[in-house]
Amino acid sequence: MELLNGKEISGQKREELFEEITRLKNNGITPGLAVILVGDHPASRSYVLSKQRTCKELGMHSVLTELPESTTEAELLARIGAFNQDPSVDGILVQLPLPPHISERKVIEAIIPEKDVDGFHPLNAGKLFTGDPAFVPCTPLGILEMLKYKNVDIKGKRVVVVGRSNIVGKPVGQLLLAEDATVSFCHSKTNNLAEHTIQADILIAAAGSAKLVTKDMVKQGAVVIDVGMNKVDGKLCGDVDFEKVKDVAGMITPVPGGVGPMTITMLMNNTVLSAKRRKAVKGAV
């Protein structure tokens, strides 16, 4: 069994990004990320601070806007509109979840596609589906980066994705389909889940259910990617029963330290990509 260490792979990618950012800055472009946090959800605050810290380490421009839980939908949309027009901002991220009185859909659609570095806007989702991606959601992009880093053969392989969210499940399936994998989707209503997962050469668990994938559900030598982040008895664990599944897997991601670090790194990657596009437009003027 080989451990797919997200910290190691992320570290390598960040070195490459640092060099790209330095080149952009030498040409008068500093990649900029604006993050909006509404309310004081502890996990959200932790994620936001981690993103801010990474921006600083890479030499990027970052802006953090913290708004109270009572912020109205109109006020939040106005903030997004201002960042849409700000030439120093290449990417806009509104940390989810949002308070219940604010429409997540309206917020996602308010960010212009050119600055939607999360890849959630319907236009970017559609481009991914049609094979012409502009921005790809960060966790799926991080998964693909990990597989390529480890030279995992994707072409023609059987991929099973457990989960169908718009953030991970659906887009990661589309990404791997574009790499010529044969992709199947499973979910909470799938009958006899193990019959599907046992056939996977690459198994991606993104259902949000602690230790859902057990040893008997995994093919010998399979690559197992665990996207889950669950708390059980105060401890963090994934959707895969790691301690037992590692005995049959060929490669496996740990939780924490697997997919998580890649998600933030690919957010930075998307922001740099947006800045490079800004540079191209600026150079053409």
For residue 282, pLDDT beyond 80: no
Check 13, 95, 157, 226 and give the catalytic one.
95
Predicted model pTM: 0.94
Check 51, 157, 170, 219 and give the catalytic one.
51
Check 13, 115, 116, 118 and give the catalytic one.
118
CA 251/CA 157 separation, integer angstroms: 15
Any idea which residue has 């105060």 for tokens? Answer: 234
Domains of the chain, each with CATH number or no CATH: 28-112 (3.40.50.10860), 138-259 (3.40.50.720)
For residue 53, pLDDT beyond 50: yes
On whether the CB atoms of residues 163 and 208 are closer than 8 A, the answer is: yes
- What are the respective helix, strand and coil percentages of the chain, to the nearest 5? 45, 15, 40
For residue range 33-47, what is the model confidence (pLDDT) as tens digits?
Answer: 999 999 988 889 998
For residue range 126-152, what is the model confidence (pLDDT) as tens digits?
Answer: 999 999 989 999 999 999 999 999 999
Average pLDDT over residues 25-30: 95
For residue 232, pLDDT beyond 50: yes
Binding residues: 163-165
Q: Could you confirm whether 118 is annotated as catalytic?
A: yes
Binding residues for NADP(+): 163-165
Q: Could you confirm whether 282 is annotated as catalytic?
A: no
